[in-house]
Amino acid sequence: MATKQITRFAPELHIPMGTHDIGFYLDFGAIEHFCFRNDDGSIHVAEMELDGATFHVHEINRSSNALEPISAMGVTTIIGLFVDDVDAVMQKAIQAGAIEINPARDYEYGYRQGMFKDPFGHYWQIQKKVE
């Protein structure tokens, strides 16, 4: 009997061509499942996992008209990540090299949220539903 595949969301975070170091994500606590590099050693694509959440870090592909935040000169998406301890995850990200955008706080709509920007310009909203 075949196991039913669970639908999961796996964002692809674009990085500039020629990027050699994605250590921020490892320092933040992600596990690298694989990393394919170009002939010059720069990263083509890496599959990462953060507490069961899979994401890919991929160099931009000009033929698909894709941009990363630095060349787009702005936010291209916000990655929402639900966690058990918003404050601990925010602190770990900042220690790994992220820049805090909004400190963690409780909102009237029932969420505790904080936001940071990673070294490639991607915004991450760290959140938890609070009772």
Domain coordinates of the chain in residue numbers? 12-129
Selected residue with higher pLDDT from 5 and 116: 116
CATH 3.40.250.10 at 12-129, yes or no? no
Q: What is the largest distance, in Å, between two alpha-carbon atoms of the chain?
A: 51
pLDDT tens for each residue of 8-26: 889 999 999 999 999 999 9
H helices, E strands: number in the chain: 3, 8
pLDDT at 131: 77
Does residue 62 have a pLDDT over 80? no
Please state, in angstroms and rounded to a whole number, the distance separating the CA atoms of residues 87 and 105: 9
Residue 77 has pLDDT above 80, yes or no: yes
In eight-state DSSP terms, residue 110 is S
User: pTM of the prediction?
Assistant: 0.88
Confidence of residue 35 (pLDDT cuts 50, 70, 90): very high
User: pLDDT class for 92, splitting at 50, 70, 90?
Assistant: very high
